[in-house]
Structure 1
Amino acid sequence: MTDATATTAGYDAAEEFLDRQSPIQRLQGILHAYPWLSPAVVLVIALIIFSSITSLFAQPGNLGTITQQTAVTATLALGQTLIILTAGIDLSCGAVMVFSSMVMAKLAFDQGVAGLPALFLGILVGGIAGLINGLLVTRVNLPPFIVTLGTLGIFTSLTLLYATGRTVRNRELADELKWLGKPVLLPGGFTITYGVLVMIALYLVFAYVLRYTAWGTHVYAVGDDPDAARLAGIQVNRVLLSVYATAGVIFGIAGWVLIGRVNAASPNSGIDANLDSITAVVIGGTSLFGGRGRVFGTLIGALIVGVVDNGLSVAGLDEAYKRLAIGTLIIVAVTADQWIRRARA
């Protein structure tokens, strides 16, 4: 058999296999290739439902508010995505974010540090916190769930001790720390903030990094199969350490976005941030088992969380319905992920 004949036979076999696939199997394959597709459909459905329930929801001012509220969760969820792509999880992300924001604010207000150095030191604290998590995971070989559950309590306590129960309010904040809260008016009366622009910029950067750089390829490889990645010559522990440290820096930036959003630095901010970030990642199509997902899906997941929260509030429904809706979405998303993963097998 010539090479040309063998190639033709191979194409015929592939076409025959595809022809034998049922519509469900084809859908399964599409969702596996594009994990952001199903959350995008959910987002569109949610927008249609809430717009039909009340006309207030679709007003440009309210949609701008949703976007601004989503900026904090989405920034936090970006760092969470990097970790979950490696089959890990970070329960301390919200605590790191709040701790970083308090460090920024109190360095500037209490210690007299200039706004810009205080900002960078706060982000550095986030990176160090992530590095600590990474060292415990890679050097001590502790499970990420246990490590970050412990550091959740540690960073929460450090925040309370460092803040001494005091909130640094708007007039006490350095201008550099409040900058992300400045409004940006778009056509049609749609208002966002600089914090939203910073969040979008971060997503664009990491979408490129994960798709087109060797580091991004290694992150997916480690999450998919760490043993195979190690055999392929990838320094698995080094990749994991870099992921946790990078995520910590992103959590520090999320602290800056948080200050801009609430115009204050409070030790009681971001109470539900840990859960919301994980929810956004899972609903966005990133697999909890690692190795599959896109940051674009996480952004859609964060928007879904923001839309459901705001839509229920505007409709005058009880807060319990938000928890019911989000909890249901999480279970559906994880079930769908299990079903989609079968396409690979």
Structure 2
Amino acid sequence: MSTPKTPPTDPSSDSSPPATRRAPGGAGNGWASEAVLHNPALGPLGALLLAVIVFAVTTSTFFTVDNLSLVVQQALVVATLGLGQTLIVLTGGIDLANAAIMVLGTMLFARLVIGGTAPGVALMMGFVVCAVLGVVSGGLVTWLNLPPFIVTLGMLTVVLAIGRLYSEGNSYPVTDDVLGVLGKGGYLFGQLKVTHGMTLAVVMFAVAWYALTKTAWGKHVYALGNDPEAARLTGIHVGRTRFSVYLIAGVIYAFAAWQALGRIPNADPNAFQTGNLDSITAVVIGGTSLFGGHGSVLGTVVGALIVAVLRSGLTQAGIDSLYQDVATGVLVIAAVAFDQLARRRSR
């Protein structure tokens, strides 16, 4: 009988425990892969800085205060969706319905307020619905032991249909100050625009980082992603942990819906059609392993910024949007390949 794995013991790390053996060839061989395993956001951060430098040199409009602020705003919703996606991927799952849940949240917020519901009540009801949808996915995955891919693919279809039925095929402009408040804000140093949505995102990511790195719950999430059976044998309540992740992710998607209305004050049932793929892209490029147990919410922020910087820079360089999609796809494949290589070398 093999000895079960234990959950991560280093609370300052946002990744799974590093391997103790080095690849053959000397004590220093494999140091790069081990460094990345210790700091999942390290590689993506280097790629982000490189992209910024390249576009700053090759274009005259990229490296300006206004454009950099716009890039951050464009990455905001995807980063928030990616936060919920990261928690699920860390457990070895995936959520294909996150953007659809978010869009349904925007529809609920807008239509309820238009129908005369108080904005605060409308927000609360939208949050409850998004959380319930997360609970449904988590329940099916946890207690019926269904594959997360199949469950969330089915949820994607169901939620998209519900959203279009509820909206009656129409979009709804948002004029209420409460619903659009996250798009407002002030200027840092008199030039850099900082919205309330940015501030909220910083708080959310900080809380998630603390929960994953400084609490027992976070250790359990990583242990579950590393090896569910080993986690169970060490006394971790695997079902409860997995279920809680989907519930929390549903709440995060509601925050993303609120942010989306602050960014674009219009609730459209056809919006963010590739939001689920964009969030997965941010998660993967940010260094989180699709196999679970290894990754960082900070890496997801960097991953979302990389995608936004890439699109902004290539647009200003006059590159067709189709080539931008090609570049993004290549980045995703390269990130997954690098993750596989790093994991093999660390064994």
Q: Give the TM-score normalised by structure 1.
A: 0.92
Task: Establish whether residue 149 from structure 1 lines up as the match of residue 149 from structure 2.
Answer: no
Contact 1:56–1:314 under 8 Å retained in 2: yes
Which structure is larger by alpha-carbon Rg, 1 or 2?
1
1:162 matched to which residue of 2?
166
Give me the whole-angstrom Cα distance separating, in 2, the residues matched to 1:20 and 1:266.
57
Deviations 1:125-152 (A, max 9, x none): 1111110000111122110000011110
1:39 aligned residue (23, 44, 55): 44
Structure with higher helix content: 1
Aligned to 1:115: 119
Aligned to 1:86: 91
* TM-fit CA distance, 1:218: 0.6
Residues 43-71 of structure 1 show CA distances to partners (whole Å, capped at 9, x for unaligned) of 01110111112110111001010011111
How far apart are the structure 1 equivalents of 2:71 and 2:323? 18
Structure-to-structure mapping, 1:1-345, within 5 angstroms: 21=26, 23-110=28-115, 112-171=116-175, 174-187=176-189, 189-345=191-347
- CA 132–27 in structure 1, closer or farther in 2 if over 3 Å, else same: same
What secondary structure, in the 3-state scheme, does the structure 2 residue paired with 1:185 have?
strand
Amino acid in the other structure paired with 1:53: T
Tell me the secondary structure at the aligned position of residue 222 of structure 1: helix
Q: Which residue of 2 aligns with 1:5?
A: none
Residues 98 and 270 in structure 1, CA contact (< 8 A), matched pair in contact too: yes
Q: CA RMSD for the aligned pairs?
A: 1.6
* Contact 1:106-1:168 at 8 Å conserved across structures: yes
Amino acid at match of 1:64: S
For these two proteins, the number of residue pairs brought into alignment is 327
Indicate the SS of the match to 1:308.
helix
User: In 2 relative to 1, CA 165–18 (structure 1 residues): closer, same or farther, beyond 3 Å?
Assistant: closer
Residue ranges of structure 2 left out of the alignment (5+ in a row): 1-21
Indicate the larger mover: 27-36 or 90-99. Answer: 27-36
Percent same amino acid among aligned pairs?
A: 46
For residues 18 and 68 of structure 1, the distance between their equivalents in structure 2, rounded to whole angstroms, comes to 42
Matches of 1:155 and 1:137, distance apart in 2: 17
Shift of 1:20: 6.3
Over 3 Å counting, the alpha-carbon distance change for 1:296 and 1:91 in structure 2 is same
- Deviation string 1:149-200 (CA, Å, 9 cap, x unpaired) is 11101101111000111211133xx221110010321116111311111111
The alignment's TM-score, normalised by the length of structure 2, stands at: 0.91
Deviation at 1:266, TM superposition (A): 1.2
Instruction: Answer whether contact 1:32 1:343 (CA < 8 A) is retained.
Output: no
Partner SS state of residue 175, structure 1: coil
Give the gaps of 5 or more residues in structure 1.
1-16
1:74–1:280 contact (8 Å) kept in structure 2: yes
Other structure's SS at 1:243 match: helix
Structure 2 partner of 1:12: none
1:22 Cα deviation from its structure 2 partner: 5.7
Paired residue type of 2:171: T
TM-superposed deviation, 1:321: 1.4
